Chain A
Amino acid sequence: MPERALGGVRVLEYAQFAAGPYCAKLLADLGAEVVKVEKPGAGDEARNRGPFLNDVPHLEWSGLFLYLNTNKLGITLNPEAATGTEVFKELVRGVDILIEDKPPQLMKELGLDYQALEAANPRLVMTSITPFGQTGYYAEYKAYCLNSYHSGLLGYLSPRNSPNLDREPIKAGGLVGEYSCGLNAALATLAALYSQRATGSGQHVDVSKQESLISLQRVFAAFYPNQGINPTRLAQATGMGGVMRCQDGYISVNFVEDHQWQAVVRLMGNPGWAQDERYKDIAFRAAHWEEIEPMISEWMLSHTREEIHRWTQESCPSGPVMSAEEVVNSAQAKARGFFTNIDHPAAGMAKYPTAPYIFSETPWAVDRSAPLLGEHNEQIYCGRLGHTRQDLVRMRQAGII
């Protein structure tokens, strides 16, 4: 059996919905042992969000939860009860990494802030993922996916290429903002782990969703202080193409270099208007985009995405706008094994996206499907922490697990 990149790394996850769980999933899928702590009874919020298998709401049938929690062990615990806090600390003593997403003040009140946990485990890497970070004026402010997306400039700039500012700025589809923050947090967590293994000491990693998202548009974000310009979602022609309508949908085609523009001109059949030498200059094209665009569109509309993609790829970057169905069924996804079937005891067999990287020595792999609510209570509490089965019954009666 091949080795796992993060084999032997122990992680405790006290997080829900998308950002924190995605961060922990990234580690779990590369071989870390992740124990996920869920609220007794209700579990992770994601269990109550769709898409549900067959559109039937059920704690074990949420596609969001199933996807974000592959390869994890699941236990229930209420750290807000006094015994729960103690048990939580016992769990923290045995791990390298804690990933959490609670309001900073709450963790402090529970005695589960970094200072308290560092005393329990000096090697601990504690990653906190919150809307605005651990400090600062907004540290306790609430934000859902929508709010975070707009807090970090990405919303204000979207939808790109708006004809005017009459309509509201929007978030990206799905929960992309949340996942992105999880990815950013996972990156920092692994840097802290690397350092922990080199020096023996852990640390607190403070991840603000707002800062994570601003950083993804860092060039536009710094426009105002550097140039006095406030970028907006208004259309701004760059002369290099973009997402355009064609016969069977939309396709993105980009022509930046001269030879790329000339390739497009050839594909269009060398029309007379395109012979004007000045069009070779991207800046000139940008300035005259309103005249050029309809002519390119006319050609695009008479061809399919597949044709345009195949033809332009000789010299130009391009990509058809694909729906979920097309992403799942694409020949490229099949060839790379980008989707895999995972069997889950309650939800059955389904196709899941895997990972965007292929490691030559330590492959991404699924060892287990997402945990049922409290599935590993006995394994962790009895097997790992040494509680008796009677203890479990008592803790359950007390609403702690």
Chain B
Amino acid sequence: MDRAALAGVRIADFAWAWAGAHAGTLLAFLGAEVIKIESLIRPDFSRTRSLTTGQKFEGLDQSAVFNDINLGKLSVRINLGHPRGLELAKAIVQISDVVTQNWRPGAMELFGLGYKDLSEVKPDIIYLSSSAQGMTGPEGRSLGLAPDFAAIGGLSYITGYADGPPTELAGEIDLLSAYTSAFAILAALNYRQQSGYGQHIDTSSSEAISVLIGEVLMDYTMNGRVQCRQGNRDEFMAPHNCYRCRGEDKWVSIAVGSDEEWRAFTNAIGNPEWTEYPSFSDAHSRWRNQQQLDKLVEDWTLARSHYEVMEILQQAGVAAVPSFNSQELYSDPHLKERRFWQEIEHPIIGRQTVAGPPWKLSATPARVYRHGPLLGEHNEYVFGELLGLPSDEIVRLVEEKIIY
């Protein structure tokens, strides 16, 4: 088997839910050994319910959501409320390179698991804290979920129809926070590889959204302008929208970015009379008259499937891509050719199809190494093999409900 990019990196993962937990999964795709440290007092809530659909799961090992967000990890279950349990958690940290956590700011410290505590145990530890608004400042102890990060970060305000309310955003917002944390951890790992030093990283999930709208924020700081919602519209391009196609709720996105592309577009659709109207003769007039233009474009797309529109326009060099749904992405020939979807066998919920890692690395391929762990599935490996506890002590720890 090929070497993994992060071969030899071990992560003690105290994170939960989505934003915190998925950072570890991304690093697991890259070959890190991620040990999720769980407890019965407060099981990861994606083990019990889906916040996106409200769905509840029967046991603690039945959640397809937990599986998907925690792919590739190992799990141990420790009673962190017991001093010996705490010692065991610290022993795991001692043999790890990275700690990740997204408890409410201050909570890890209450358990004696803060950066200061753990850097005493492992001086070169990289310790990632992820929270709603960061650990400092007046909102430094804030509670938040994905829709809150998008709201505070400024993205909800600018997402929506021009005549509609701001949009609630969820799943991708959490995962953007996870990607941000994983990136920061990798920067710190690179630094430690060169210098030998660890450090603490304080990630704000709301700032993780704000940095993605840099030019919108700078329009305010440079020009005092507060940008608002504008659907699919662009500042300059037209056509630039989603157009209804044949079928139920089928749409294609079309964007025309230059006069050259406009000519390619009009040729591809057979140069109907309206394409010669003076009101569409240059980029600015097309932009000004885009409402009228959108209707005419849609008259053309409505008679075709969104795949057909994509093929016709892409052949002509015009950017047109369907607004794909889950079913279409699953059966899409391009993603099949790239083997994007992968199947993984989960011992309780059975075979699951999951999105593979979102990068193809030629020398150190990223992989979905295993299903999301069952609660405490790797107690034996971690306590026995990694920490070297004799089996009679493990039995005793189980009897005393310190590990379970």
Contact = CB atoms under 8 A, between A and B. Distances in A.
Contact of A169 (B216, B255, B323, B329): B323
Contact of B253 (A155, A236, A358): A155
A55 B190 CA distance: 41
A224 interface: yes
Given A160-B170, A180-B212, A230-B327, A322 B154 contact: yes
A258 B195 CA distance: 48
Interface string A327-339: 1100110111011
Contacts of A360: 115, 199-202
Interface string A169-187: 1111111100110011111
A220 B326 contact: yes
Contact of B148 (A198, A204, A318, A332): A318
- What size tier do the contact residues of chain A reach? 35 or more
A95 interface: no
26 contacts: A51-B218, A63-B215, A134-B360, A146-B255, A168-B323, A172-B159, A173-B216, A192-B363, A195-B3, A198-B193, A225-B326, A225-B330, A226-B352, A236-B54, A250-B166, A252-B168, A286-B54, A315-B143, A319-B151, A320-B152, A324-B216, A331-B137, A332-B138, A353-B207, A357-B203, A359-B188
Contact of A150 (B206, B223, B251): B251
B229 interface: yes
Interface stretch (B33-41, B76-84, B232-240): B232-240
A27 to B, nearest CB: 8
A296 B320 CA distance: 42
Interface residues of B, number: 156
Given A317-B132, A338-B207, 20 more contacts: A49-B235, A137-B333, A142-B317, A158-B159, A168-B243, A191-B366, A197-B193, A206-B359, A216-B172, A222-B355, A224-B325, A238-B52, A243-B165, A250-B166, A317-B143, A326-B154, A354-B211, A356-B180, A359-B201, A362-B191
A242 B54 CA distance: 13
Contact of A218 (B164, B310, B354): B354
B353 A225 contact: yes
A162 B334 CA distance: 30
Contacts of A346: none
A117 interface: no
B111 interface: no
A216 B177 CA distance: 10
Contacts of B319: 141-144, 146-147
B197 A361 contact: yes
A212 interface: yes
B96 interface: no
Interface in A300-331: 313, 315-328, 331
Interface stretch (A3-11, A82-90, A380-388): A3-11
B206 to A, nearest CB: 7
A211 interface: yes
A321 B166 contact: yes
Nearest to A48: B236
A212 B366 CA distance: 14
B100 interface: no
A137 B167 contact: no
Interface in A138-169: 138, 141-156, 158-161, 165, 167-169
B85 to A, nearest CB: 24
A193 interface: yes
B241 to A, nearest CB: 7
A136 B337 contact: yes
Contacts of A321: 151, 156-157, 166
Contact of A173 (B144, B213, B241, B340): B213
